[in-house]
Structure 1
Amino acid sequence: MTSHQALAAPAQAPLVAGWRNGFAALGPAFFTELRPTPLPAPHWVGASDDVAALLGLPEGWQQRDDALQSFTGNALPPGSRPLASVYSGHQFGVWAGQLGDGRAILLGEVETPAHGGQELQLKGCGRTPYSRMGDGRAVLRSSIREFLCSEAMHALGIPTTRALCVTGSPAPVAREEIETAAVVTRVAPSFIRFGHFEHFAARGQQAELRRLADYVIDRYYPECRDGANPCAALLRAVSERTAALMARWQAVGFCHGVMNTDNMSILGLTIDYGPFQFLDAFDPGHICNHSDAQGRYAFDRQPGVAWWNLLCLAQAMLPLIGEVETARAALSTYEGVFAAEFLRRMRAKLGLQQPREGDGALVDALLRLLAAGRVDYTIFWRRLSHAVAAGDFEPVRDLFADRAAFDAWLLSYEELLALEDQALVADLMLNTNPGFVLRNHLGEQAIRAAKLGDFSELQTLQKLLARPFDEHPGHEAHAGFPPEWASTISISCSS
């Protein structure tokens, strides 16, 4: 057979099919179109099969060079329209003016088989007009943390952006030290933030402000069209989603670390994983971000900060809403939604299925005990779940220096517990209180290995965090107390 008679190789299925560009349709005031800046010698670091399935990627996608190049920013998937969006915001409580996607580029939106439109964004793919003094890059360390935590939060049932993959490159990036570059492919229905609204309000661009609000309502909150004031209804809906998100964070012991208004999702998602942390010892005033000298974003302040950020959003939306009192009314349900959702989640952690009058006092007393003893938060709840299942509370008592105080609380707890359906209590608790969360030292161990080209610990963590309520025999160390050196890990805004 001559060369011209040889059979042609079968065409590859499109890596990503069905691109559309809803955000781009808002117009040039909202973004700058530009291509990612390529990185040399890219390689795979990690990938999520679950997110690949969500997006409908073809089988074997990770073996394809076009996938590696596309998700590093070295090539563009056909049909994508890369852009960096502009927004403004308050950072650490101070108006920062214009910000924007300084190291992230939105490729576009794809229609998924079961979850509607999903935007794909490359984080760490080079400078944009909004990079200010930054280099537009992300480092391997922070990219692994974001990848793992995005997927861990999803497995915990907490609304979040997702992460399809991380790619790495030997390209040097200067932070506190010289590190190597990486890119995270992030996925969400939308990456619109409170800061997008603040940007156009601050500039007096009311036509663009209204276009943005209409887009968000029509795409993500269509039920808000039913009332007399759709923008007030939108503000209320965002407020209530945010309140529920804060309740979920507080219940699981998650610290975000940098809750600027430009890091707040209009969809009530956990977004922009930087100096985050899951609590080790329970300390309500814990500050996980070493850049946060004043403790503005301490763990127990998160619900109040979210409220303050919503006030900023309300101020930005006021030209669309009309009366100040209407905006205030739209925010009036925040506190009640947060309190009810938090108590509901804490009841579930305690195995209490039916609301009763003493539940709130029981929870408050327990949190005071945990704080006084600096008890490990995740281990306490998992041990309590096992103790209820086995009828043996001794392993839980061992966590408290003041056993008498715990025993007094336990008597009150057992009285309420006795009123519940005992066949359901243990299962409820074991499916509510995770054994595995992304503690800082676990992430650090995976990062140290990855820097040496060993991704096995990252893959182990992925599997454990994808099923955080399972027992995972043989991995007890991953669910154990943090080592002493864990307290020396410094996580900052540059992370």
Structure 2
Amino acid sequence: MNAPSFDPALQTAGFDPARLSWLNRYAALGERFGTPQAALGLPGARWVARSDGLAASLGWPADWSEHPDTLAVLSGTGRWPGMAPMATVYGGHQFGVWAGQLGDGRALLLGEIDSAAGPQELQLKGSGPTPYSRRGDGRAVLRSSVREFLCSEAMHGLGIPTTRALALTASDLPVMRERMETAAVVTRMAPSFLRFGHFEHFCHHGQHEALRTLADFVLQHHYPQCLDAPVPVAAMLAEVSRRTADLLADWQAVGFCHGVMNTDNMSMLGLTIDYGPFGFLDGFDPGHICNHSDDRGRYAYARQPQVAYWNLHALAQALLPLVGDGGETLAEAVGHYRDRFPVALAARMADKFGLQDHRDEDGELINDALRLLAGERVDYTLFFRRLSDFGASATADAALADLFVDRDAWQAWAQRYRDRLALDAGDAAARRARLLAVNPKYVLRNHLAEQAIRQAQAGDFSEVQRLHRLLQHPFDEQPEHEADAGLPPDWASGLEISCSS
């Protein structure tokens, strides 16, 4: 029987959940892969924020959130026809140590819909306990949920592959963490939430038939171009490695720190997934640790690329029972990350500096600039945004120089940079336009998120909604929001973000 397909009439007719086309292909794999589970939901739920742009990309009409059942469904107390809610099982290495069976302890896969953007999984985070909650309450608090909602959509605005956030709901239900807080639910979407840890789980428990079923599922639905390869599983791993290399290059270039790069937080599609103790760099510090729980700095900013490589090896080890050559093809597949990441990052950094016709000496010029930034903890986002105006006027050059205490060191580098730019074809206006398109003015700094959280905890969601609108267009000049692009206040340095949510 053919699966239903997306109904284009959804785009023009009023929103009718009964007309959504549910595929639920992962749920059809059976009980080894997860457990059917109803959401516990939020009592007295209310909207905090919604992503109408994401809904529009699905082909949903503007009134999608006004349907009387939508709030209930996206807070876990209702169900649309065709949903097949389940919690999936996976394992993983956490901080480099095998953690055993994990799974969706706070997340619930509501099902998979066909849409104008293709098949998308719809997932609630924080809707109550599941069989994989490991003595937890299955809840998410408003604090962490605001951060996840905003950063998911901010990363999309930056053009970085990510899971998306459709909605954020909240209630007065008390939840105990370090202190008493209140509950919230984020509705997340992605073509797939499958993680490296899904494969690790079945390999670790010797369930090789299930491992093969999972690999075949991912190949058929997400990497069909690999099916005709001599070793399809190795071809899939090679593509995952390439996507992961590009993702890490994106993170490093924009100054994003994930904070908890466990293998169960690594996407099989190369998406940024599971926003917890993340952070964007303020002052540039290669050793910056954004996760207060990471006392050994395993996931420090500069270590992220190597951790991703380690995680890919863990995935390769999990796939080993599916190949018969001792793992040679898998080792070669992971090697695509090693080869691709430095090239991808070099290209992104050259773009951020506006360097065309890449030359051998460009790497030294860029690294010397980064050393200057690190030596003085120069604000990373501000530096590149102001660099976009380099040479445009004396005022612009002065604003850039003001970021440095050692003016002589800055001026020496700036002259080298000026000489290098003179070797490229094209005019200054075209270069400036290119730089402004890759160097964002706005990122989700921790203090901005914290201000939105404090207002939301007081019952005012307007700042969450304002930041959401702002971060959809991070490269645009938005004069009314100029303060959001400035240096962080002194109190921001005291913020501590941990794994607790």
The TM-score bracket by the shorter chain reads over 0.9
8 Å Cα contact 2:15-2:61 kept in structure 1: no
Q: 1:13 aligns with which of 12, 16, 23?
A: 16
1:51–1:405 Cα change, 3 Å: same
Corresponding residue number in structure 2 for 1:333: 336
Corresponding residue number in structure 2 for 1:424: 430
8 Å Cα contact 1:15-1:58 kept in structure 2: no
Counterpart CA distance in 2 for 1:388 and 1:210 is 58
Amino acid corresponding to residue 450 of structure 1 in structure 2? A
- Give the superposition deviation at 1:439: 0.2
Amino acid corresponding to residue 249 of structure 1 in structure 2? W
8 Å Cα contact 2:15-2:64 kept in structure 1: no
Corresponding residue number in structure 2 for 1:256: 258
Q: 1:399 aligns with which of 403, 410, 417?
A: 403
Corresponding residue number in structure 2 for 1:476: 482
Amino acid corresponding to residue 462 of structure 1 in structure 2? H
1:405–1:199 Cα change, 3 Å: same
Corresponding residue number in structure 2 for 1:307: 309
- Give the superposition deviation at 1:39: 1.7
8 Å Cα contact 1:240-1:334 kept in structure 2: yes
8 Å Cα contact 2:447-2:488 kept in structure 1: yes
- Give the superposition deviation at 1:63: 2.3
Residues 10-19 or 76-85, more deviating: 10-19
8 Å Cα contact 1:16-1:57 kept in structure 2: no
Q: 2:42 aligns with which of 39, 43, 63?
A: 39
1:220–1:265 Cα change, 3 Å: same
Amino acid corresponding to residue 370 of structure 1 in structure 2? L
SS in 2 for 1:307: helix
Q: 5 Å matches for 1:137-148?
A: 137-148=139-150
Corresponding residue number in structure 2 for 1:209: 211
Counterpart CA distance in 1 for 2:15 and 2:369 is 58
1:357 aligns with 2:363: no
Amino acid corresponding to residue 143 of structure 1 in structure 2? S
Counterpart CA distance in 1 for 2:77 and 2:105 is 18
Corresponding residue number in structure 2 for 1:447: 453
SS in 2 for 1:405: helix
Q: 1:98 aligns with which of 81, 96, 101?
A: 101
Cα RMSD (Å): 1.4
SS in 1 for 2:230: coil
- Give the superposition deviation at 1:164: 0.2
Amino acid corresponding to residue 480 of structure 2 in structure 1? G
8 Å Cα contact 1:16-1:110 kept in structure 2: no
Amino acid corresponding to residue 466 of structure 2 in structure 1? T
- Give the superposition deviation at 1:133: 2.0
Counterpart CA distance in 1 for 2:213 and 2:357 is 45
- Give the superposition deviation at 1:387: 2.7
Counterpart CA distance in 1 for 2:493 and 2:205 is 44
- Give the superposition deviation at 1:414: 1.3
8 Å Cα contact 1:13-1:58 kept in structure 2: no
Corresponding residue number in structure 2 for 1:6: none
Counterpart CA distance in 2 for 1:374 and 1:216 is 43
| Identity fraction in percent | 60
Corresponding residue number in structure 2 for 1:56: 59
SS in 1 for 2:388: helix
The TM-score normalised by the length of structure 2 is 0.95
Counterpart CA distance in 2 for 1:406 and 1:341 is 27
1:388–1:129 Cα change, 3 Å: farther
Counterpart CA distance in 2 for 1:490 and 1:15 is 44
Q: 5 Å matches for 1:68-467?
A: 68-113=71-116, 115-322=117-324, 323-390=326-393, 392-420=396-424, 421-422=426-427, 423-467=429-473
Q: Which runs of 5+ in 2 are unaligned?
A: 1-12
Q: Which runs of 5+ in 1 are unaligned?
A: 1-9
- Give the superposition deviation at 1:458: 1.2
8 Å Cα contact 1:15-1:57 kept in structure 2: no
8 Å Cα contact 1:277-1:288 kept in structure 2: yes
8 Å Cα contact 2:91-2:201 kept in structure 1: yes
Counterpart CA distance in 2 for 1:61 and 1:54 is 12
8 Å Cα contact 1:15-1:67 kept in structure 2: no
Q: Which runs of 4+ in 1 moved over 4 A?
A: none
Counterpart CA distance in 1 for 2:464 and 2:358 is 40
8 Å Cα contact 1:46-1:459 kept in structure 2: yes
1:234–1:11 Cα change, 3 Å: closer
- Give the superposition deviation at 1:388: 4.1
1:16–1:297 Cα change, 3 Å: farther
SS in 2 for 1:135: coil
Residues 237-246 or 320-329, more deviating: 320-329
- Give the superposition deviation at 1:79: 0.5
Amino acid corresponding to residue 480 of structure 1 in structure 2? G
- Give the superposition deviation at 1:11: 9.1
SS in 2 for 1:386: coil
Q: 1:487 aligns with which of 490, 493, 497?
A: 493
CA deviation string 1:225-275 (max 9, x = no partner): 121000111111111110110000000000000000000000000000000
Counterpart CA distance in 2 for 1:40 and 1:331 is 46
- Give the superposition deviation at 1:474: 2.0
- Give the superposition deviation at 1:375: 0.2
1:152–1:389 Cα change, 3 Å: farther
Counterpart CA distance in 1 for 2:168 and 2:86 is 20
Residues 252-261 or 386-395, more deviating: 386-395
Counterpart CA distance in 2 for 1:313 and 1:39 is 36
Counterpart CA distance in 2 for 1:225 and 1:376 is 46
CA deviation string 1:333-378 (max 9, x = no partner): 2122111110111111111232221111111111111100100000
- Give the superposition deviation at 1:16: 6.4
CA deviation string 1:136-188 (max 9, x = no partner): 00001111100000000001010000000000011000011111100000000
Counterpart CA distance in 2 for 1:180 and 1:381 is 38
